[in-house]
Amino acid sequence: MGVEGIGASVVRKEDRRFVTGKGRYVDDIKLVGMTHAYFVRSPHAHAKVKSIDSSAAMKMPGVVGVLTGKEIVDDKIGNLICGWAITSRDGTPMKMGAWPAMAPETVRFVGQAVAVVIAETKNQAHDAAEAVVVNYEELPAAADIRAAIKPGAPQLHPEAPGNVIYDWTLGDEAATDTAFKSAANVVSLDITNNRLVPNAMEPRAAIADYNDAEEHFTLYTTSQNPHVARLVLSAFYNVAQEHKLRVVAPDVGGGFGSKIFIYPEEMVALWASKKVRRPVKWTGDRSEAFLTDAHGRDHLTKAEMAFDASNKIIGLRVKTYANLGAYMSLFSSSVPTYLYATLLSGQYNIPNIFAEVISVYTNTVPVDAYRGAGRPEASFVVERLMETAARQLKVDPAELRRKNFITAFPHQTPVIMAYDIGDFGASLDAALKAIDYSGFPARKDKAKKEGKLRGIGFSCYIEACGIAPSKAVGSLGAGVGLWESAEVRVNPVGTIEILTGSHSHGQGHETTFCQLVAERLGVPISQVQIVHGDTDKVQFGMGTYGSRSAAVGLTAILKAMEKVESKARKIAAHQLEASEDDIVIENGAFKVTGTDKSIALPMVALAAYTAHNLPDGMEPGLKEGAFYDPTNFTFPAGAYICELEVDAGTGKTGFVNFVAADDFGRLINPMIVEGQVHGGLAQGIGQALLEGAVYDASGQLVTASFMDYTMPRADDLPSFKLNHTTTLCPGNPLGVKGCGEAGAIGASAAVINAITDAIGNNKLEMPATPDRVWHAIHGNA
C-alpha cells in the first residue's frame, strides 16, 4: 500500500489549516460593500399574516431595505420543492403544499420567515427586525403526528386533506398476512423514533453577491452539494440562470444531511442582493438553526415479526407514521419510504415483508435526511424486534440472530434491495469476542452484588449506501441522477489536481482522495491537490451524503485516473521507444519492464503539454474526466454490542463497554474510517440517551437551544472499541462500501436493548433519560 497509499492511516492534509484557525468558513468571508440580513420570523406555529408594517424599521439606522414574502412572490421566485415523487397505494401522487421562501399569507411553523431586513451591520439588521410589526391571526396548530391525523385536526395545506402527504406501501401484503396466520410466535412492538436536531457545529450561512454589469450571482453557502444547490436555485426557484450563478461551498463545519437542502435563506439572500444591488450576508444563529434546519427521524411505528416453530422469521409487518413537518423539504419524501422500508429485512432472511408508511404534515419545521436517513429508523425497528423476540422466545439474542442471518449472496430481499455481499456471522463473532460475551453472566452477577443493574444489548445493522444507481432511483421517483463526476488534471510540471463533485465537510477527502493517486502513481500526496466545492472550478457533481463519496465519488476519480494513465503510458512508450504494453508505473515514473529505461511523470506531463513529440494524432495535454454511475447500492453492515449499568436509584445509565465490528469493504484510511464510526456512534447514542426535539401542543419548540436540547458531551460517552471484518464490495473496483452513517444507524438499538435487558422492562422510549429509566424500573412509566 505504500506509506501514503490505500490502507494507510495518513494524517490529514487539511488539518494544518483547521488547527491553526485558518479554515475558511462562510461567515469568515467579507466582501466589499457587504450588507447583513436578519429575518423576521413567525412566533406562531400556524397563523395568517394579516399585515406587515415596516415603516418604523425602514427609518432605523443603517437599514438598506425591508423585503417581504409578498414581494418575493410578486418577483416570481419559485416555491421550494421536494425532488422525490412518491405515489400513494391508491395511485395518487404525493400531496405537496406550496412553500414560498418567505410566507406571504400563512405561516405554518414557528420560525418561518415572513420578512427580511437588510442593513449595514448585523446588529442594525437585528434591531430593525425587532421594529417590523407583523399582525398575525392565530390558527389552531397540529404539532405532532397524533394531533395531525385526528379527525377534525387543523388542516395545513388545502392540497392534503387530513394532513396526509401519501399513504405508501412496499411488499406483498397478502403473503405477509398469510405468513402471520401460520406463525408459531408473533412479537410486536410500538416504537417512537424520536425527533432529532442535526446541529452541525457551524450554523448555516450564505453570502450572495450580485454583479449587475454581468447579471451574475455568486453564492457562498454552507452546502454539502453546491452543484445541486445551483441546479435547484436556477431550474426550480428562478432566482438566477444556471450559467449566471456560481455556488461556492468553502470549508463547511459539519452537515449530517442538514446542509444537503436548499433553504429559504439562501434564496432570499440571492434575490435580496439583486434588489439592493449589494452583497448580502446571512449567518444563522443557533436558535435559528434549531427552528429552521431540517430535523430528522420522528416516526411512530407498530411492528410485528412472525416466527415459525424453529424460530425462523417468516414475516415482518410494519406500519409507520412519519412526520415531515409543515412543508416537504428537498428529499423528505424518500427518507421514510425508499431509504427506510427497503432496509427492513435487516441482516435476515425474511421471506415476507409488508410496510405501510403514512407521511403527514404538522406545524413543525420540515423533517428530512439526517445522518442515516431512514436506515437508522429501519435498523431500530428490526433490532428491537429481534431482541424482544429473543426474550419472548427465551433464546440467546446472538444465536437467534445467527439462526436467521442471510448467508448466501447475492440475496434478493422482498423489499427491493439485492444485497451483493456480506458476512454477518463474522461481524457478530468479532463483536462477541471483543466484548467477552461468555464472561457476561459472571459480570452481571458481580454488578448485582454491587447493587447495579447490568445489561447487554445487540444491534446487527445493515445499510444501503453508495447512493445511488441513477436508473434505479429514477424508477423509484428521484428527480436527479446520483452518479458522481471527477476530473484529473496533470499539470505541465507533473503536479496533479483532482476535481471532484464530492464535498468534504469533515470527511477528510483532501487526504483520502490523494491516497488513491499515491497508490496508483506512487507520487507523494503533497504533489496532489483536491479541488471541490466551487461550481466555477468543478464540473457538475452531486455532492456528499448517503456515505457515497468513497463508493461513488472516489470511483469516479479512479475512472478518470485510468484514462490519464492510459494516455500517459502511450506518451511514455513513444518517448522511450517502447511498446505501450511494456510500460509499468512505479514511484512516479513510467518504466519499461525488464529494462532500466524510465521517464518520470513530470517529463511525461511536460511532453504532453509541449506537444513537440507526441504519438501521431494524439491531442496535447494530460487531463481526463469521468462520470461514474454505480450499478447497485453498497451494503455496509456490522454488529454493535453495548454493555452498561443502570443505577436503579437514579435511573442513570453508565457505559461499561461499547464494541463495534463493521464491514465497510476496503478501507482507504483506517484512521479516518474509525473517526467516522466514532462520530456516528455518538449520534446514535445521543438519540438513545439524550437527544429529543420537543414541540409543545401549540407548536412551540421547547428544546430550541443547547441549554434545552441535550447534545452528547465528552463525559456522556465511552471510548469505543472498534473492529473490522472485510468482504470487498463487488460493485465497484475499489471494493469500498462507505462508513459515514453506520454508527448512527446501528448504535441506538444496541443501547436501548442493553438498558431494557438491565432493567427487565422492555417498554422504554428514546431518549432513555434517567427519569424515563427510573419510571421503567419502578413500574409507573
Partner 1 sequence: MSTVNLTVNGKPVSANVEDRTLLVNLLRDHLNLTGTHVGCDTSQCGACVVHIDGQAVKSCTVLAGQASGANVTTIEGISNGDELHPMQAAFRDNHGLQCGYCTPGMIMSAIDIVNRYGGKLDEDTVRHELEGNICRCTGYHNIVKSVLDAAGRMSVAQAAE
Q: Report the interface residues with partner 1, using CB under 8 A.
A: 11-12, 14-25, 27-28, 30, 123, 199-203, 251-254, 256, 285-287, 505-508, 671-672, 674-675, 678-683, 705-707, 711-715, 717, 719-720, 743
Minimum Å gap between C-beta 512 and partner 1 is: 12
Minimum Å gap between C-beta 11 and partner 1 is: 6
Asked if residue 263 lies in contact with residue 37, where contact means CB atoms within 8 angstroms, the answer is no
Q: Which amino acid is at 225?
A: N
The angle at the Cα of 676, spanning 527 to 204, to the nearest 5 degrees, equals 85
- Our CB check for partner 1 shows the closer of 281 and 623 to be 281
- Element housing 721 (H / E): strand 721-724
- Our CB check for partner 1 shows the closer of 507 and 632 to be 507
Minimum Å gap between C-beta 654 and partner 1 is: 12
- Our CB check for partner 1 shows the closer of 68 and 124 to be 124
Give the whole-angstrom CA distance, residue 636 versus residue 741.
Answer: 9
User: Three-state DSSP class for 155?
Assistant: coil
User: Three-state DSSP class for 188?
Assistant: strand
Give the whole-angstrom CA distance, residue 699 versus residue 616.
Answer: 72
Minimum Å gap between C-beta 747 and partner 1 is: 10
User: What are the residues whose beta carbons fall under 8 Å from the beta carbon of 245, sequence distance 6 or more?
Assistant: 216, 217, 218, 219, 230, 233, 234, 239, 270, 535
- Element housing 63 (H / E): strand 63-68
- Our CB check for partner 1 shows the closer of 106 and 199 to be 199
Chain CA centroid to CA 152, Å:
35
Minimum Å gap between C-beta 22 and partner 1 is: 7
Asked if residue 520 lies in contact with residue 24, where contact means CB atoms within 8 angstroms, the answer is no
Minimum Å gap between C-beta 519 and partner 1 is: 20
- Our CB check for partner 1 shows the closer of 51 and 719 to be 719
Asked if residue 327 lies in contact with residue 319, where contact means CB atoms within 8 angstroms, the answer is no
Distances in whole angstroms, Cα of residue 410 to Cα of each of 202, 404, 406? 41, 16, 10
Give the whole-angstrom CA distance, residue 548 versus residue 633.
Answer: 9
Minimum Å gap between C-beta 440 and partner 1 is: 23
CA nearest to 778, candidates 609, 649, 610: 649
Minimum Å gap between C-beta 167 and partner 1 is: 35
- Our CB check for partner 1 shows the closer of 374 and 680 to be 680
Here the contacts of 609-618 (C-beta below 8 Å, separation 24 or greater) are 609/492, 610/492, 613/574, 613/575, 614/571, 614/574, 615/570, 615/571, 615/574, 618/567, 618/570, 618/571
- Our CB check for partner 1 shows the closer of 568 and 754 to be 754
- Element housing 766 (H / E): none
Give the whole-angstrom CA distance, residue 772 versus residue 576.
Answer: 75
The angle at the Cα of 655, spanning 649 to 659, to the nearest 5 degrees, equals 155
- Our CB check for partner 1 shows the closer of 58 and 717 to be 717
Minimum Å gap between C-beta 671 and partner 1 is: 5
- Our CB check for partner 1 shows the closer of 123 and 595 to be 123
- Our CB check for partner 1 shows the closer of 630 and 738 to be 738
Give the whole-angstrom CA distance, residue 551 versus residue 724.
Answer: 18
Minimum Å gap between C-beta 129 and partner 1 is: 15
Minimum Å gap between C-beta 717 and partner 1 is: 6
Give the whole-angstrom CA distance, residue 627 versus residue 629.
Answer: 7
Minimum Å gap between C-beta 289 and partner 1 is: 9
- DSSP for 215-235, please give it: TEEEEEE--S-HHHHHHHHHH
Cell of 35: 450588507
* Phi, psi (rounded to 5 degrees) for 239: -80, -40
Inter-axis angle of helices 509-521 and 555-576, nearest 10: 30
Minimum Å gap between C-beta 219 and partner 1 is: 19
* Cis bond before residue 203 (omega within 30° of 0): no
Minimum Å gap between C-beta 313 and partner 1 is: 32
- Our CB check for partner 1 shows the closer of 265 and 487 to be 265
Chain CA centroid to CA 560, Å:
26
Asked if residue 377 lies in contact with residue 336, where contact means CB atoms within 8 angstroms, the answer is yes
- Our CB check for partner 1 shows the closer of 43 and 61 to be 61
Give the whole-angstrom CA distance, residue 365 versus residue 662.
Answer: 34
Give the whole-angstrom CA distance, residue 624 versus residue 499.
Answer: 10
* Phi, psi (rounded to 5 degrees) for 210: -100, 125
Minimum Å gap between C-beta 762 and partner 1 is: 27
- Our CB check for partner 1 shows the closer of 285 and 445 to be 285
- Our CB check for partner 1 shows the closer of 15 and 536 to be 15
Minimum Å gap between C-beta 526 and partner 1 is: 15
- Our CB check for partner 1 shows the closer of 633 and 658 to be 658
- Our CB check for partner 1 shows the closer of 259 and 444 to be 259
